Amino acid sequence: MKPRDLIFVAFGSVLTAVFIGLGFWQIDRLGERRAFNAELRSRAATKPVDLSQVPADTGAAHFRRVRISGVYDFAHEIVLTNRSRKGSPGVNIVTPVRIPGRDTAVLVNRGWIYAPDGMTVDLSKWREPEAVTADGFVENFHVREGQAKLPRHANAYRWMDRGVLSEGFPYPIAGFFVVMIGDGKPQRQDIPPRLEVPPLDEGSHMNYVIQWFSFATISIIGMFLFVRRK
């Protein structure tokens, strides 16, 4: 073969090695993701603990089962907009809970209610007894690009951004929030349907594994046909 043909084969070999390496790297990432998901599932399956036992590290606290006791502050509750349930539009109601003896309130996602436009609801119909003792799991706040608070809807947010949310409360809020879990028993009419622990996906790692190994296979076949023709 001519020198330029050898260069082409060498370049193809390097690309193949790179593709194979990226494929195995994604396999390692997939294994890490599965191990992480297994850890979160084990946390969600444990017995609830008091909020005082939640780790300060939000990563270690994520998905921990907790029991929260305090008093609802309905005057400062908010909604998370555009939350669907069984194909219907609605919102999640998030209400601060004041813990006795603490200045910091904990935001609690009480559940989902129907809203035709996905953002406008009459919250006065969903006032549970002020004193609350309930189980849930710890969720972390999110920081994303864009505007978390809806400017034209009072107390309406697209997602839970602690920095943005803190501006709307007259007291400090905890570094995490709690999502209430239903106990399977019939609920009062003023209690919104509780949420469930969300399913944990494996991301797109497997798709990338298939993609990189496909590229490697195409490269190998291409080089084989090229060498054979030469």
For 95-122, write each residue's pLDDT tens digit: 999 999 899 999 999 999 999 999 888 9
CA distances from 146 to 15, 72, 118, 150, 208 (A): 38, 30, 19, 11, 28
Is the pLDDT assigned to residue 129 strictly greater than 70? Answer: yes
Instruction: Cite the beta strand spans of 84-225 per DSSP E.
Output: 90-98, 105-114, 131-139, 156-157, 173-180
The share of the chain scoring above pLDDT 90, in percent, equals: 30
What local confidence, expressed as pLDDT, does residue 164 receive? 92
- Domains of the chain, residue spans: 3-40+204-229, 64-180
Is the pLDDT assigned to residue 49 strictly greater than 80? Answer: yes
**Considering the entire predicted model, what is its pTM?**
0.75
Strand, coil or helix: 21: helix
CA dist., res. 200 & res. 230, Å (int): 51
CA dist., res. 133 & res. 126, Å (int): 17
pLDDT tens digits, 66-83: 999 999 999 999 999 999
Mean pLDDT of 165-184: 88
CA distances from 191 to 45, 128, 213 (A): 24, 6, 51
Cβ 180 vs Cβ 195: under 8 Å: yes
Mean pLDDT of 30-58: 77
What local confidence, expressed as pLDDT, does residue 161 receive? 94
What local confidence, expressed as pLDDT, does residue 56 receive? 80
The share of the chain scoring above pLDDT 70, in percent, equals: 90
Mean pLDDT of 170-182: 91
Q: What is the mean pLDDT of the chain?
A: 85
What local confidence, expressed as pLDDT, does residue 191 receive? 82
Cβ 108 vs Cβ 96: under 8 Å: yes
Cβ 33 vs Cβ 10: under 8 Å: no
What local confidence, expressed as pLDDT, does residue 31 receive? 81
Half-sphere exposure of 36 (CA within 13 A, CB side): 13
Under 8 Å CB-to-CB from 192, ≥6 apart: which residues?
A: 93, 110, 111, 112, 113, 126
**Tokens representing residue 182 in the block:** 């239903």
CA dist., res. 77 & res. 111, Å (int): 12
What local confidence, expressed as pLDDT, does residue 76 receive? 94
What local confidence, expressed as pLDDT, does residue 5 receive? 63
Cβ 12 vs Cβ 221: under 8 Å: no
What local confidence, expressed as pLDDT, does residue 185 receive? 57
DSSP assigned state of 230: -
User: Does residue 141 or residue 4 have the better pLDDT?
Assistant: 141
Mean pLDDT of 33-59: 77
What local confidence, expressed as pLDDT, does residue 62 receive? 84
